Every structure is written in C-alpha cells, then in structure tokens.
Amino acid sequence: MRLFLPLVITFICGIVMILHFFIPHRPISTIGDGLTDWYMIVASAAIFLGAANLVQVHVHRINTKARNWKYSPVVLIGFIAMMATGLLWGVEETLPFDYMFQTMIVPMGATMFSLLAFFVASAAFRAFRASNWRATLLLASAFIVMLGRVPIGGMIWKQIPIISEWMMQVPNMAGQRAVMIGAALGVVATSLRMIFGIERSYLGGAD
C-alpha cells in the first residue's frame, strides 16, 4: 500500500494535468485548477519544512561543536531577526524588515556574486590554454564574444560586435537548440515513466 498509493496519486495527477493542457474546458479545467492550487499549498508548506530544517541543522552544529560551528549562531540570529521583523511589522518599505533587506542582504548578496570575477580571472589564467585546435577555437570565440559585449570592442574594430552577435545567433543558437531539444525529450520520457510507475526513484530508495 505504501508503494501503491503514491503511484496511483502520481498517475491520476499526471494524467489530469496532461488532459488539462489539451482540454481547457470543464470539468477537466476545474480539476486541473484545483490540483495547481494544491501544488502551491504543498510548495508553501515546504518553505516551513525548509526553515525548520535550517534551524535543526544549525542547532545541531552548535550543540556538537561541529567544524566552523561559530558561523551557525550568525545564521540563526539573522534568520530569527528577519522572520521576527517581518511577522511583527510587515515587509513594507521603511519598516525594519525592508531596512535590513536593503542595507544588509542586498550588499552582501551582490558582494558574494561579485567575487566570481576574481575566481574567473584566476581560473582563466591557469586553465584556458590553447592546447589543441578545439581549445584554440574556443579561446578565439571567447575573445570575440568578450570584446563584443563591451563598448571597447567596437572601438578596437567596428566589426567585433557584429561578429560577436553572429556567433550568438548562429553557432551558439544551433548548439543551444540541440541541447534544449535533447533535454526536453528527456523530460518527456522521464515524466511518462513517472506517470506510468516505471520510474520510482522519486519515492525514495532504489527503483
């Protein structure tokens, strides 16, 4: 029963959602809308689950004095401060939640992502080698696209932005399209396998 029930639920929900796509009329549309509402309710509940898990993991790290446990109180204090201010005063502008978001989370988030530039520069210096003709082709393409995406590229040679855009619209698009079609076929195949109960790894454990 523990296996049968989830498989039946998956089958019914999957078939209804497929029918909902092709038959946007009652009663299928009503059932489909109901299922999407339930999906959003379940997804919202998952947020609480995630928050509880975050607290549990970091409390455990503090209790066991795990490696780098000193960062865990910072996470918990930040989490509780944001949650408390949001629940007590709301999230509107000029209120404490928004103030903390704008003055702490925004600059810290932007800083973390900005660090990528340093790692990219260092990695490019050490790993981007013209070791064979394919790597050389990649290197040349990267140079043209990098120059084409900044104003200085056009100042060096007017054709660089045009060649860069052509590379994006022709070879890049062809490659991306192949990847996307392949991935889409994989999604369709996996979805059908899940709906018909062939693929069961999502239930946990081995299939």
Partner 1 sequence: MRKLLEMLDRVDRRVIYLLMALSVFIPLALRLSYPIPVGQGPSQDLFKAIDSLPSGSVVLVSYDYDPSTMPELQPMAVALTQHMFTRGHRIIAMALWPQGASLSQEAMSAVGDSLGKAQYDDWVNLGYTVGAGVSIVRMGSSIRAVFPQDRDGFPYDSIPLLTRVQSLRDIDLVISLSAGDPGIHAWVMMAGDRFGLPVGGGCTAVSAPEFYTYLGTGQLLGLLGGLKGAADYETMVREGRGNTPAGLATPGMAAQSISHLVIMAFIVIGNISYLAVHKRRKGAPK
* 101 interacts with partner 1 by CB under 8 A: yes
Residues 94, 96, 98, 99, Cα dihedral to 10° = 80
User: Which of 52-60, 67-75, 172-180, 194-202 is the region at the interface with partner 1 (rule: CB under 8 A)?
Assistant: 172-180
> Min. distance of Cβ 132 from partner 1 in angstroms?
12
Q: Are 87 and 95 in contact (CB under 8 A)?
A: no
Rounded Cα–Cα distance for residues 134 and 128 (Å) = 12
CA distance 187 to 190: 5
115 neighbors 124 (Cβ within 8 angstroms): no
> Which residues from 18-77 bind partner 1, rule CB under 8 A?
21, 29, 33, 36-37, 39-40, 43-44, 46-47
Q: CB 30 → partner 1: shortest distance, Å?
A: 9
Q: CB of 46: closest distance to partner 1 in angstroms?
A: 8
d(CA 107, CA 110): 5
Closer residue to partner 1 (CB): 55 or 62: 55
Stretch that binds partner 1, among 6-14, 52-60, 62-70, 127-135 (CB under 8 A): 127-135
CA angle, corner 62, sides to 56 and 63, nearest 5? Answer: 85
- Backbone φ, ψ for residue 94 (5° rounding): 70, -5
Q: Which of 150, 185, 189, 192 binds partner 1 (CB under 8 A)?
A: 150
Neighbour count for residue 164 (Cβ, 10 Å): 21
Q: Is 133 in the site for partner 1 (CB under 8 A)?
A: no
Q: Residue with structure tokens 């490019």?
A: 124
Interaction of residue 118 with partner 1, rule CB under 8 A: yes
State the residues that interact with partner 1 by CB under 8 A.
21, 29, 33, 36-37, 39-40, 43-44, 46-47, 90-93, 98, 101-102, 105-110, 112-114, 117-118, 120-122, 124-126, 128-131, 139, 142-143, 146-147, 149-155, 161-162, 165, 168-169, 172-173, 176-177, 179-180
